[in-house]
Each structure stands twice: as structure tokens, then as C-alpha cells.
Structure 1
Amino acid sequence: MTPENQPTEGTPEEVLLPYDDNRFESDPGVVLPDDPGLPVGWTASAPDPGSIMDVRRLTELLRAHEDAGRGWAGASQDDVLVEVSEHGLKMRENLVVRDRNNRIRAWASVHDRSVNRMLYVHIIERDLSEAAAERCSQVMFAWAEAQACEVGAARGLKTQQIDTGAFADDERQHKMLEDAGFNRVRTWWQMSRPVTADEASLVPDPEHWERKGVVFRQVRREGDGLPDIDDLRAVHDVLESSFTDHFNSSEETFQEFVHRLREDPGHRWDHWWIAEIVDGEGAPEAAGVLVGTVSESSTGPDGSYVSYLGVLESARGRGVATGLLRTIIADAAARDRDRVGLEVDADSSTGADQLYVGMGWKTKYVTESWHKDVPVG
């Protein structure tokens, strides 16, 4: 992870103090039976986040999972460290299955994402026999459901949702999820748009520009490069408000939000933008926000990615979303990047997909959300 992603001294309290309220059970032995049902000599335990070998092996498994599911791999060790590092474990727990030679053959991860939304990663080595893969899968799902009960009870819930994903063409993963009682609930288009050098002039200046009473600007940063806390709160507030009616939206505290976004290996404070309405007599009012990240590549130019784009309902129809998208495209071009990616809900009623297609985005691959509701208690 980049140094910027680590806690930094001297920042405002909400940014300085990392989120540290792990509601999970850290010891797999507490939530799994003495004999969980694995092949003879195989074990289930937490991975060692300090082990280079463990991190490398988990990266291999993740990349093979991506390659089998969508035809190419993009994950790096930084993506694994988001899940298993000491920093990541403040909101997560992990389970690995090792064979009798101590080789990791499967990996599960749970993430206390927000109220009633526990994210789950389920990865099993592609070369395992069907019988061994099924036994690993059953143990991992049992562990995940036990963790759902832990986090749900800690949050005072009667039911805890487990939210996991799959590539649309990954039939092996679909069968495992169906066998475990998960339901396919949503489809997502993973879209990408090429960027050319001349598009750096799409807006006057990606750091700050104005059009028809709307100012588009980067989140303010202090002398040490860290963000203005009021701007961060404005970003959080706009996203919470604009996503209220979106699919599977759940409340996320400000501290949870900042902690989670800083974990992304591509996180950069100068990729956060605010759109403010300034055509009235009052103070500027945040009406839209875009949180971007860097999509690093080991084989060519980096890209930019739209992690979040939110516009208040009261400001829709004023070109806020278009202006923010033009800003990140121009910023990417100025940084010599060759693409901007984003995700869009294939079933959304907002018409966002039409905006993206009209601005040059095309679907690169498709993913799915699968859910299971677990009674707590």
C-alpha cells in the first residue's frame, strides 16, 4: 500500500484515527467445529499478513480467479493487502484452507462494509478436484455465515446480509453460490472509455473551473497535502444523500467512509472533486461529487477510475454529472493516462448508462451481485 494510505500524524482527528471497530471473531476455531469437514490433513486458519509467501499465494489465487472469470487478471499484491494487512483487519477477517503440504488452496474474506452489508470474497483454486473444491466451499460458507452472525449481533440486527460478487460468465462460482443458498440480485456493467491527449482541454483546468453557475473543483488540501475536513464531510454528505434510493444502499458513517476509501491502492486526494452551486446570493453549496482513483498498470499507461459519482436530486438537470465526468477525463489526459473506467447498475432507472454511453463509455465485462440473508442469534 502507498504511504499515503497509512495513518498520518498531524491530520484532523477524523482522518488521523484509523477506523478500529472490528466486530468479527478473529479465531476461526471459535466459529468452526473441530472437524469442519475438510480433506484429511487439510486445515482452516487465518493467513499470516506478515508472510510474503502467504501474500504471494493469495495474489496467485486471486489472479487465477479473475482470469477464469473474465479472461484476464488485473489484481496485484496491493489488492490482497487491502484484505489481509494489519490496516485492513480493522474492518475484516480472513480464512485460508491449507492442504497437508501447507499450501493455500482456498481463501475467504469478510468485510464489515456498513449497516447490514457484509461483503464476502470466496476464492477456490481452479485446479482442485470438484470434491475437494466443494468441501472447501462448504467450510468457507459456514465460516462466513458465522461471521455474519457476529457482526450482525454487534450491530444489533435481526438479519445480516452477506453480499458477494461473481463474474457473469463464471458458472463454477455461480453453482457454488446457488448451492450455498445465495440469490443473484443485480447485474453491473464494468465500463471503460479511451482517453486521448487532446482531451486535456475538455475543461479549462481540472483543479478549478466554472460553467453556468456551477464550480467544479478539487477537494481543498492543506499545506501538507492532506484534505480539508469540511470538504471531506461535504463529499460524504452528498454521496449519502444522492445514493439513498439506489440499490442496496446502506448507511455508512463518515469515519467508515474515509477509512475504506483510503484503503484503495489507487487512492489519491487530488482525485476527489466537488461541484458547487454558486449562482445564488448565499454561500456555495455542494451539489455533486466525484471520487476517482488511479488504475495502475504494469504493462502500459495507468488509467483513472470513477469510484463514486453522486449528484443531489435538487441539482439534477444542470450538467453537474457531465461536468464532473469531463473533469476526470481532462485530468486523466493531462496525466498521460489512456482510459477512464467506471461501474454502472445495469438495472438502474436513473438513465446513468445513457449518459456514459453518450460520452464514449463501453462495457468491458459484466459482474453480478449475489446476496444471502442470515438470521442473527
Structure 2
Amino acid sequence: MPVIPDDNRFESDPADLLPQDPGLPEGWVAAAPDGSDRPTVERLTELLRAHERAGRGWAGAGEEDVLVEVSDRGLTTRENLVVRDPAGRIQAWGSVHDRAEGRMLFVHIVDREIDERLADRCSDVLFEWAEAQAKAVGEARGLAVQQIDSGSFADDERQHGWLADAGFDRVRTWWQMSRSVEAEEAELVPDPARWERNGVVFRLVERQGDGLPSEADLRAVHEVLEGAFTDHFNSAEETFHEFIHRLREDPGHRWDHWWIAEIVDGGGEPEPAGALVGTVSESDTGTDGSYVSYLGVLESARGRGVATGLLRTIIADAASRGRDRVGLEVDADSPTGADGLYTSMGWGTKYVTESWHRDVTVSQQ
């Protein structure tokens, strides 16, 4: 298996990035959170869930989603900042993620109950810190410009205003789609673990004696997805080690949710042509779902039903596990027409999110 990256390029001490007086009211402080402190994790989870309820009407995040950002494992590629009031209560949280070369993700959350003036000041501190982190990570990677990629729910006007005021541009819209799953759909394919149709084999990544997947198969998945998304919006090259580390961080990660599609009708060695990485999607209702984290098909194999076959596979797999839904995200502005395939197979839009970007000039010494 690939090693976990240990080259955090961020500045870990907020005091090195923020002015001595960041402009917070007396008694308020900005500092890095302790991800091993349970009350801290519980409070960040509370903030995240309130942010989701305000933005889309319901909350889905749990403590595992927070731990991805603040635990020791998460900090190999991330840093965090919290703003505490005089009582020590966390009122704002920012997290930055060195996602890939030239692309830094930024989570920005401010409590929904505090005074508007205080909320604005907390927001300003998070943005100031994120800009400084963008310069740090960009300089460490040797870049002239570092992108900050943040997001918002489509109906969250408060977040839109803060992002716009901080110099971000709304650049993309994403449909978060879901499809119900019926028990009888377990028969959609002969066997989700392996089946064949029209010269294409759909199979799970191979597992070794210790239960871990074949590195050759994982590399095949990475190469297919890199090739399939080369011309897609905001595509950034990601190394194999970065890719595997990031996907293993997902709380819903399972190796038995990774599929490869191979062309086998040429008479030679099977040729990887498509890949689907799925995860478990938990729910407060107690019924799990499946989620399509990645679905990619190489251009040379398009038109052969590879994407449809992979989608039918994860639907059948979900049904066989007693799950009630399969979710996915689609670029609302994609020229590929992928949304037409999803709609034809029963997916509908559940809510909408947006990408907001800002390019930061990196000071090169």
C-alpha cells in the first residue's frame, strides 16, 4: 500500500500568519483547535450541522466528518483555526486542505446565533488566515498563484455575501442528486463483484490475502480517473499517494466499493477503461445509502455503456446490502451531458451547491 504523505506545507501556528491584534473584541482569541479534545470535536460538529441546516434545510454531518479535518491523520494535509469568545466557546471555524497542486480547499463556518457584527469580524479573521495559508502552501509548492476553492449551498445568502466581499467569484454550480433503490434492483446485474457485457468486464478491485487491495488495481483506478477528468472543470493533477490518502480519509470509505471496468474483447490483456469509487453514506434515520464519489470513463471507451454498467453495478450492490438510495454530484455546467444519463436512470436533484474561487498571488523570495 502507498505511504501516507507527511509533508504538510501549511503554517501550523496561527500567530505566524495573523496580526498581533486581528481586530477581534476584547477577550476573543483565534487559535488552532485541539483535535483530540472531545468537547472541541463536539462543538465543531454542532457548528457544522447548524451550517448545513441553515444552508440546505437539514444536517447530515457527524463527528467523523470533523475528525477528517482536525485529527492527527487529517493534519498531514490540513490546518485549522477556531475563534473563541471570552467564555472559551468556539464561534467560528476555518479549515484549509492542500488538495492538489495549485488547489487549496477552504471550509468557512461561523455560528448562526451570534451578533451580526461579531459574525462579520470572525469571518474576516478566517479569510485573512486562509489567504496567508494559501501563500504559504503556494510558496512551498513553488507556485506563482495559489487557488482557494471554497463552497456554499445555493440558498445560503449570508455565505455568498462573505465570499464575494472577500474577493471570491462564483464559478460553478453542482447538482447533488439522489436515486431511491428498491430491493429487487439487486438483480440489475448478475453479480456486483464481477460481471461482463458486450466485451466489458465490471469488477471490484482485487483483494490480497490480508484484505488490502491490489496496488496495481488502485493505480489503474487512479490513472483512469486522471485521464477521464483531464478536460473537466478545475481539474488538478493529483499524485497517486495524494489520491489514495485523501479517499481513505472519507468516513464512508470501503475497499469493497471500488470498481474497475475493463475492455476484454481485443484478444490481449484486459484494458482498464472506467472506474467508480463508491462510499457508504450514513443517515440519521438509520438506513445507510451508497454514494458515487468518482465515476470516470476514458474517452477511447465512451459509447460502450461503461458508465451505465458501473452505475447499474453500484445500484445492484446497494440493493443487495439493504440500502435505500445512491447519491452523486454532477456539474450543472458540464458539456458532457452526464446529467442526462443520471436523470434517465432515475436520479433527481436533492439540493444545489456552488464553488467559489479566489486566486492568491504567492510572494516568491
TM-score, shorter chain, exceeding 0.5 = yes
Match of 2:33 among 41, 44, 47: 47
Q: CA deviation at 1:225?
A: 1.1
Alignment of 1:213-252 (within 5 A): 213-252=199-238
Alignment of 1:131-142 (within 5 A): 131-142=117-128
Alignment of 1:181-260 (within 5 A): 181-260=167-246
Match of 2:281 among 285, 289, 295: 295
Amino acid in the other structure paired with 2:259: W
Equivalent residue number for residue 165 of structure 2: 179
Q: What secondary structure, in the 3-state scheme, does the structure 2 residue paired with 1:149 have?
A: helix
User: What number of residue pairs does the alignment pair up?
Assistant: 363
Equivalent residue number for residue 114 of structure 1: 100
Match of 1:285 among 268, 271, 287: 271
Matched, 1:24 2:10: yes
Q: CA deviation at 1:331?
A: 0.1
For 1:219-274, what per-residue CA distance to the aligned partner results, in whole angstroms no more than 9, with x for missing partners?
Answer: 00111110000000000000000000000000000000000000000000000000
Give % identity.
74
Q: What secondary structure, in the 3-state scheme, does the structure 2 residue paired with 1:336 have?
A: coil
Match of 1:343 among 317, 324, 329: 329
For 1:138-191, what per-residue CA distance to the aligned partner results, in whole angstroms no more than 9, with x for missing partners?
Answer: 111000000000000011100000000000000000000011010000000000
Q: What secondary structure, in the 3-state scheme, does the structure 2 residue paired with 1:286 have?
A: strand
Matched, 1:58 2:44: yes
Q: CA deviation at 1:128?
A: 1.3
Q: Distance in 1 between matches of 2:350 and 2:279?
A: 18
Amino acid in the other structure paired with 2:71: S
Q: Distance in 1 between matches of 2:282 and 2:177?
A: 16
Matched, 1:72 2:58: yes
Q: CA deviation at 1:325?
A: 0.0
TM-score by length of 2: 0.99
Equivalent residue number for residue 38 of structure 1: 24
Q: Distance in 2 between matches of 1:310 and 1:328?
A: 14
Q: What secondary structure, in the 3-state scheme, does the structure 1 residue paired with 2:30 have?
A: strand
Matched, 1:160 2:146: yes
Equivalent residue number for residue 125 of structure 1: 111
Q: Distance in 1 between matches of 2:98 and 2:273?
A: 29
For 1:75-99, what per-residue CA distance to the aligned partner results, in whole angstroms no more than 9, with x for missing partners?
Answer: 0000000000000000000000000
Q: Distance in 2 between matches of 1:138 and 1:176?
A: 8
TM-score by length of 1: 0.96
Q: Distance in 2 between matches of 1:128 and 1:153?
A: 36
Q: Distance in 2 between matches of 1:210 and 1:153?
A: 48
